[in-house]
């Protein structure tokens, strides 16, 4: 294998990982390509070799980080266990609320990038999770008749605790279990 191909792959991955950190911290508008280059130790031409522009970089970063969520969601097991895995994965993957990243779509100009972000989120996270909720409704494990609403409720619960694990003095797995229990059983005393 050509060493340049290895280096090229490492550069792209470095750009995606650093872009992920920066976009979460500062949002789409707060990040500059100059800052990204400085943090990566790479030149602008190198960044633009992999990514057409900032919009394309934002899209590719989100696709890169969302990739694989459907696999976590689709792993077999009881509903509670599957939801806990999803919650733990979200808590581990995000440093800041994911809704901030999705709101930043409003600053994108190219329809294909907007569509790409929507497709990545729906294909990797929302759609598979809604299917899991629908299965839970059909099996009688979940109350309700709208899998999309249940999905939004579950994601909303998890989203509010992203980055707060240390404040709660819990690791991701324990917090995921607690939040999943609240989602499934509520907080009403039996």
- What mean pLDDT comes out for the span 84-108? 84
- Nearest to 62, CA basis, from 99, 106, 16: 16
User: Looking at the domain assignment, is residue 58 inside a domain?
Assistant: no
- pLDDT of 4 reads 41
Q: Detail the DSSP E strand segments found in 14-171.
A: none
Q: What is the CATH number of the domain that holds 102?
A: 1.10.357.10
- pLDDT of 99 reads 72
Query: Cα torsion at 11, 17, 18, 20 (round to 10°)?
Result: 140
CA distance 37 to 26: 15
- Could you tell me how far CA 91 lies from the centroid of its own chain? 9
Q: Indicate the pLDDT class of residue 8, thresholds 50, 70 and 90.
A: low
CA distance 18 to 23: 9
CB proximity list for 53: less than 8 A, separation 6 or greater? none
Residues 143, 169, single domain; the answer is: yes
pTM: 0.84
CA distance 136 to 10: 41
Centre a 10 Å sphere on the Cβ of residue 140 and count the other Cβ atoms it contains: 7
Query: Above 90 in pLDDT, residue 166?
Result: no
Question: Considering all CA atoms of the chain, what is the largest pairwise distance in Å, rounded to the nearest integer?
Answer: 64
Query: Above 70 in pLDDT, residue 5?
Result: no
Query: Above 90 in pLDDT, residue 181?
Result: yes
CA distance 28 to 161: 22
The number of folded domains in the chain is: 2
Residues 122, 43, single domain; the answer is: no
Domain span at residue 9? 3-53
pLDDT tens by residue, 108-121:
899 998 899 899 99
Q: What is the mean pLDDT of the chain?
A: 89
User: Looking at the domain assignment, is residue 83 inside a domain?
Assistant: yes
Residues 85, 139, single domain; the answer is: yes
- pLDDT of 107 reads 85
Residues 126, 47, single domain; the answer is: no
């Amino acid at each position: 294998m050509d060493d340049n191909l290895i280096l090229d792959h490492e550069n792209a991955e470095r750009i995606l990982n650093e872009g992920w950190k920066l976009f979460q911290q500062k949002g789409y508008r707060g990040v500059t390509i100059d800052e990204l280059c400085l943090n990566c130790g790479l030149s602008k031409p190198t960044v633009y070799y992999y990514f057409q522009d900032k919009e394309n970089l934002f899209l590719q970063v989100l696709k890169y980080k969302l990739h694989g969520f459907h696999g976590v969601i689709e792993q077999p097991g009881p509903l509670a266990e599957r939801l806990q895995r999803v919650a733990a994965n979200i808590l581990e993957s995000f440093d800041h609320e994911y809704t901030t990243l999705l709101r930043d779509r409003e600053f994108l100009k190219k329809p294909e990038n907007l569509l790409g972000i929507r497709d990545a989120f729906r294909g990797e996270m929302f759609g598979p999770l809604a299917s899991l909720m629908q299965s839970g409704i059909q099996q009688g494990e979940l109350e309700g008749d709208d899998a999309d609403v249940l999905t939004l409720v579950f994601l909303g619960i998890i989203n509010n605790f992203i980055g707060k694990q240390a404040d709660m003095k819990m690791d991701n797995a324990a917090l995921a279990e607690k939040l999943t229990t609240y989602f499934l059983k509520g907080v009403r005393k039996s």
